[in-house]
Amino acid sequence: MEPPLWSATTEPSVPEIVLGPHRYDIRHRALVMAVLGLSSEQPSNLLREAEAHVAAGADPVELDAAGMQEDDEPASMVDSLVARVGLPLVVRVDEPTMLTAALAAGASVVAGPVAAHVVAVASTGASVMLTTAEAGEAIGVPRSQVMVEPGPDGLQQLRQGLAAQGWPVVLSTIGCHASGAAQALGIALGARILRTTDVRTARRTADVMAAVLAAREPQP
């Protein structure tokens, strides 16, 4: 039987997230990270999808460029998205040259860089999104700029105290973890970024949980 939601409520150990030039108070509020689908290769379709996510309440927007080739002009997509949506852009990359190009084009967050590049990325003012193991290599990088993405067993890791280890935690709520109940439990356990393709549901859940968590805080 699942324990009562509030019996496991965890406050994040980092009170804010820094995404490039943007700062977010996450003591109670979870951000909603909209994941752009790459089913279409037409940049105009990506831009329309990004705008729809923004209208639904996204905070950062993620472009998954992993596996793309430089000939696909990911930097051009990044530049267009940054100009159009006006929100922090997360770019998921797996090649150092694409990483550099994405940052030059205006990405605020890089997801998936190998640990050796973490300090170099953060020195540009960008933030990084890493696995739990990689985050331990981010020595000297402010913890508010290092988000941890635990993967498909995110809820289990949150139950084991991941949010207390000192990094803002990303809960991927795509597919089997897409329900509002799973998102609410993740927030109660300390997750402060909901990574999703269903922005409207996640925004509604995050807002309700923010109000509940704020109301539970002791009044002076």
pLDDT tens digits, one per residue of 132-150: 888 877 888 889 999 999 9
Residue 51 backbone class (left: φ over 0; alpha: ψ -120 to 50; beta: rest)? alpha
* pLDDT value of residue 90: 93
Domains of the chain: 10-216 (3.20.20.20)
Instruction: Report the distance separating Cα 91 and Cα 65, nearest Å.
Output: 7
- Residue linked to tokens 């860089």: 113
Residue-wise pLDDT for 18-52, tens only, equals: 998 899 999 999 999 999 865 545 667 888 999 99
| Average pLDDT, integer, range 191-209 | 95
Instruction: Report the distance separating Cα 67 and Cα 69, nearest Å.
Output: 7
Taking the CA atoms of 78, 81, 86 and 92 in sequence, report the sign of the dihedral they define. Answer: negative
Cα separation values, 26 from 10, 84, 172, 205, 209, Å: 12, 25, 17, 15, 12
Question: What element of type H or E holds 170?
Answer: strand 170-172
Main-chain phi, psi angles of 184, to 5 degrees: -60, -45
Q: Return the structure tokens found at 168.
A: 């803002």
Residue-wise pLDDT for 148-179, tens only, equals: 999 888 999 999 999 999 899 999 988 655 67
Residue-wise pLDDT for 122-131, tens only, equals: 888 899 999 8
Q: Return the structure tokens found at 70.
A: 């430089």
Q: Is the pLDDT of residue 182 over 50?
A: yes
Q: Return the structure tokens found at 176.
A: 């089997």
Residue 210 backbone class (left: φ over 0; alpha: ψ -120 to 50; beta: rest)? alpha
Judge whether 60 and 108 are in contact, CB under 8 Å.
yes
Return the DSSP state at 73: -
The whole-model pTM stands at: 0.89
Instruction: Report the distance separating Cα 65 and Cα 92, nearest Å.
Output: 5
Q: Is the pLDDT of residue 1 over 50?
A: no
Instruction: Report the distance separating Cα 34 and Cα 61, nearest Å.
Output: 5
Q: Which residue has the higher pLDDT, 41 or 108?
A: 108
Q: Return the structure tokens found at 94.
A: 């797996």
* pLDDT value of residue 102: 86
Q: Is the pLDDT of residue 93 over 90?
A: no
Q: Return the structure tokens found at 46.
A: 């990506």
Q: Give the confidence band of 99 by pLDDT, cuts at 50, 70, 90.
A: confident
